[in-house]
Amino acid sequence: MANIEKIGVVGAGQMGRGIAQVAAFSGYEVYLFDVNQEALDFGLDFIKKQLDRGVSKEKWDQKTADDTLARISGVTDIEGLKDVDLAIEAATENKDIKFKIFKSMDEAIKPEAILATNTSSISITEIAAVTSRPQLVAGMHFMNPVPVMKLVEGIKGLETSDETFAAVKEASEKMGKTFVSVRDMPGFAVNRILMPMINEAVYVLHEGIASVEDIDASMKLGTNQPMGPLTLADFIGLDTCLAIMEVLHEGLGDTKYRPCPLLKQYVQAGRLGRKVGRGFYSYEK
Ligand code: CAA
């Protein structure tokens, strides 16, 4: 089986920086790539702050934090990933962007490397098909916040080899995650269940059935979820929620997945959730 020592992470956003942190913490040599220097610096700084917070909370010592950070190199040229054994893409949830990135990863990264995607809903088979190595492409769907959430949803595309799938399972487990195996169908398992629930919560708001606060209180206190569905939507990003609902609607062709018009309107208004300071709630910057 492929021996994974160096991991590349594509995209220094919310998910990418979390994956980079967890991979480096687990002993991997990590190359964090982002085209945007500012986004990369922000991502690296965020990781440093998370590691320092762990020291002050006595989760780990200063040496562990320093060693983890030292294992992460930031790069702004995809060529910087050429020697990695596994590259995990965590860019924006948009098909055309992912296809473009996978083509450039396929060209830049050594041919025997595994190319994984953190997509939350786009077909792994379709992403793999834009590369020259579909047998080496798999889905590794981490949950947000990556350092806290214990799951990696593993997705096997039509052409993914058993060896590739075993290697991404092993890497996920080395990162301290529980790996579940899911077929390549729209939304996989987590979002096939989670997103219709969030979308339905937006319908409950849209139809004036309950307020934002009361919807969240109902599900938090009534069903013991750690966050209400609208808080969770803000946390994930309303643009991501909408993109996933659209994939479910289009991919499964069933009207029960139609995105709520209010969700669309919030995205049109730029109320994308916590990351921009405004979604269903307002957040202090
Ligand atoms: N990064 C790293 N660590 C974080 C963090 C972050 N962004 N946010 C919180 N934490 C850590 C805290 O440091 C804290 O650690 P300790 O207990 O060791 O001190 C721990 O998480 C709990 O944090 P808090 O006490 O501040 O807050 P909380 O108890 O409300 O927990 C939460 C926060 C873990 C996010 C919790 O609210 C939760 O589990 N929410 C649901 C998250 C969820 O469902 N995620 C999946 C989203 S779906 C997805 O990601 C897939 C997709 O495709 C859309």
**What is the chain's mean pLDDT, rounded?**
97
Mean pLDDT in residue range 99-113 = 98
Residue 230 near residue 217, CB atoms below 8 Å: no
Q: Which residues are catalytic?
A: 120, 141, 153, 191
Domain boundaries, the chain: 6-182, 191-274
CATH superfamily of 6-182: NAD(P)-binding Rossmann-like Domain (3.40.50.720)
Q: What pLDDT score does 198 carry?
A: 98
CATH of 191-274, one of 1.10.15.40, 1.10.1040.10, 1.10.287.3510, 3.40.50.720: 1.10.1040.10
Please report, rounded to a whole number, the percentage of residues in the chain having pLDDT higher than 70. Answer: 99
Q: In angstroms, what is the span from residue 236 Cα to ligand 1's centroid?
A: 11
Q: What pLDDT score does 247 carry?
A: 92
Q: What pLDDT score does 43 carry?
A: 98
**pLDDT tens profile 174-211:** 999 999 999 999 999 999 999 999 999 999 999 999 99
- Per-residue DSSP letters for the chain? -----EEEEE--SHHHHHHHHHHHHTT-EEEEE-S-HHHHHHHHHHHHHHHHHHHHTTSS-HHHHHHHHHTEEEESSGGGGTT-SEEEE---S-HHHHHHHHHHHHHHS-TTSEEEE--SSS-HHHHHHTSS-GGGEEEEEE-SSTTT--EEEEEE-TT--HHHHHHHHHHHHHTT-EEEEEESSTTTTHHHHHHHHHHHHHHHHHTTSS-HHHHHHHHHHHH--SS-HHHHHHHH-HHHHHHHHHHHHHHH--GGGPPPHHHHHHHHTT--BGGGTBSSSB---
Examine the pLDDT at 105 and tell me if it is beyond 80: yes
User: What single-letter amino acid sits at 131?
Assistant: T
Q: Is the CB of 227 under 6 A from ligand 1?
A: yes
Q: What pLDDT score does 57 carry?
A: 97
Q: What pLDDT score does 177 carry?
A: 98
**pLDDT tens profile 154-168:** 999 999 999 999 999
Q: What pLDDT score does 55 carry?
A: 98
Q: Is the CB of 152 under 6 A from ligand 1?
A: no
| Ligand 1, pocket-test mutation among 148, 190, 223, most atoms within 8 A of CB | 148
**pLDDT tens profile 43-54:** 999 999 999 999
**pLDDT tens profile 232-248:** 999 999 999 999 999 99
Q: CB 210: neighbour CB atoms within 10 A?
A: 14
Q: What pLDDT score does 285 carry?
A: 64
Residue 248 near residue 191, CB atoms below 8 Å: yes
| Residue 186 CA: distances (Å) to CA of 21, 125, 266 | 28, 11, 24
The pTM is what? 0.94
Q: Is the CB of 144 under 6 A from ligand 1?
A: yes
